[in-house]
Chain A
Amino acid sequence: MTRDTYRRGLSHVIVGLCGLAVLLALIPLILVLFYVVSKGIASLNWAFLTQMPKPVGEPGGGMANAIVGSLIVSTLGALFAIPIGIISGVYAAEYAGTRIASATRFAADTLNGVPSIVIGVFAYGLAVLPFRQFSAVAGGLALGIMMIPLIMRTTEELLRLVPSSLKEGALALGATRARAVFTVVLPAALPGIMTGILLALARIAGETAPLLFTALNSRFFNTDVRQPISTLTVQVFTYATSAYEDWHRQAWAGALALVTIVFACSLLARVATARMERLQRGS
């Protein structure tokens, strides 16, 4: 009887500890979001979005150049990553049993685990060192490399979900394999692939480390992709580690903008996934 009570007691204690673990993990989440919103909202105004950074000591100013810079660098990354990710995903799905396909899958998983700072060093060696010039292109390259594995894996998985009868139908009508894949199978999987791209974008939107010595930073409004460019994340880093009160305020506003962008991307992707699942169940 006492042993039984002990066993039941222990069980209750452990169940309670697991609940406690959930609460413990929610504390930092709530604290981080609370501080980012409460400190950021005061400075996240029209001026922040539309004005250029002011010199040290002058209050006000904004991060207009950094916001545009982040957009440019992310777009460059996406332009570079989407074709490579999708087409290598197509290969891995179409020739699933081959050695190259498993090697590609392995490479993607490996790339996914490479620290972002190491990718930054690699992009530096590839796109900065040969030209002796920091540039938006180099930053885009670094972010693109980080997007590729995510896009490749989602493409592959979604292509496998498309019923093979669709492709067989196209082949039976005399389409070549390329035509069947690109005009029948890929469009069927497109919404899912878009979701994957969105998630990849959400991931790189918050990246700082790979940009530190590729895109570098710039005090100016720059749209020339061959020049160093300012980005939201690097700007937040610079401001956060500075000694000026006013810059700290702006760093919080930048953080709020970042969190909003990242959450919006993930939420959009989540909604799209849920809708797709409903559609699939319905059909």
Chain B
Amino acid sequence: MAFKSTRPDEIVFRIATGAFAVLLIGLVAAIGVELYRQSQLSIKEFGWQFWQTDTWDPVAGQFGARPFIWGTLYSSILALIFSTPIALGIAIFISELAPNWAKWPLVFLTELLAAIPSIVYGLWGIFVLVPVVRQLEVATPQWMKVIPLFSGPPLGVGMLSAALILAIMVIPFSSSVAREVLKSVPQAQREGAYALGATRWEAIRMALFYARTGIVGAVMLGFGRALGETMAVTMVIGNSPQIKWSLFAPQYTMAAVIANEFTEAGDELHLHALIEIGLVLFIITLIVNMISRMFIWSMGRQKRPRVAQTAAVKAAA
């Protein structure tokens, strides 16, 4: 705990370092304020209409951003569906199953996956993943194409490629948080399960249940990452503002439209419309991140008394 001193040099130190701390807080607030200020034209002109219409035509001055919201949410949710089982599997494997000598290299490898820059994933996506996805789409049998999910021409670029790339990029984030969360499950819980005759999976299931809030937090953290991911998605999603269920259809995301059109935005209304999309993206990721951190924190709090208990047991033994 800080104790308050009235010595002048102490007060100077406190104010001088505090100023930087306040600057950091102000910076986050400034992002919100600045984005709001710079999107005034579009907010005034369109109001809620902006998020309820589908026509995006900068030349005609018509801006409806619903397809971008759709594309961002749809691609991120698909990415979560692909990535969550794998991320959890990795977390379980590293924290519960792998022998000690194998843990360190596995953690290192998943960290490498996180270290590869987005632009490199995008480059790889364009030249390697998209052709493969196109072949998959060509090979899709006719009876499957009747389903809306698989309808449309096989282009390669589109929702499926974007979701796959996003899934790859999100895996290291959610798996490393899930691993930390699993690590915080007291060993006594597992030992108790084994003592009652549980199989390995039953003990793991118990640990998962114990860590459930933290794991939800880990998945949501990955969701937040996916929502804001820009370059790789921009390069493979096809950049076509339309609302479709089809995995094969080229679509668009909020981050991608900003990346593509920002420097070309000729008139001020177009620029403000793009910044408004940025503002909403900022707010959505803020909320998602806050909720996920709340989940992860609550996990940390519930852990502490148990840790104290096991420590007490060990001390008594």
Contacts and interface: CB of A to CB of B under 8 A. Distances in A.
Interface of A: 7-8, 10-11, 14-15, 17-22, 24-26, 28-29, 31-33, 35-36, 39, 83-84, 87-88, 90-92, 94-98, 100-101, 103-104, 107-111, 113-122, 124-126, 129, 145, 148, 152, 176-178, 181, 202, 205-209, 212-213, 216, 233, 236-237, 240-241, 248, 251-252, 255, 258-259, 262-263, 266, 270
A212 B124 contact: no
Contacts of A17: 89
Interface residue SS majority, chain A = helix
Given A113-B224, A209-B255, A212-B259, A255 B1 contact: no
Given A107-B27, A121-B35, A251-B123, A29 B112 contact: yes
B77 interface: no
A206 B115 CA distance: 9
A209 B38 contact: no
B129 to A, nearest CB: 9
A20 to B, nearest CB: 7
A232 B113 CA distance: 20
B17 A208 contact: no
Nearest to B280: A118
B275 A121 contact: yes
Contacts of B228: 113-118
Interface residue SS majority, chain B = helix
A84 B117 CA distance: 25
Contacts of B13: 176-178, 181
Given A91-B17, A107-B25, A255 B286 contact: no
B230 A103 contact: no
B123 A88 contact: no
Nearest to B82: A24
Contacts of A270: 108
30 contacts: A8-B199, A10-B201, A14-B201, A18-B92, A18-B97, A21-B93, A24-B86, A28-B113, A29-B112, A32-B116, A32-B124, A95-B18, A98-B2, A103-B21, A103-B25, A115-B228, A116-B230, A117-B259, A119-B31, A122-B31, A125-B275, A177-B9, A207-B117, A209-B259, A216-B263, A236-B119, A240-B123, A241-B235, A258-B120, A266-B111
Given A104-B21, A115-B227, A258-B119, 6 more contacts: A28-B113, A87-B17, A94-B17, A208-B230, A212-B263, A258-B120
Most chain B CB inside 10 Å of its own CB: which residue of A26, A125, A252, A266: A125
Contact of A7 (B9, B199, B281): B199
Nearest to B167: A28
B101 interface: no
Contacts of A108: 24
Contacts of A119: 31
B28 A91 contact: no
B93 A237 contact: no
Most chain B CB inside 10 Å of its own CB: which residue of A10, A115, A212: A115
Interface string B4-39: 010101101110111011111101101100110110
A271 to B, nearest CB: 12
Contacts of B9: 176-178
A15 B262 contact: no
Most chain A CB inside 10 Å of its own CB: which residue of B5, B86, B117: B117
Contacts of A28: 113, 168
A18 B262 contact: no
Given A31-B128, A258-B117, A262-B116, A96 B109 contact: no
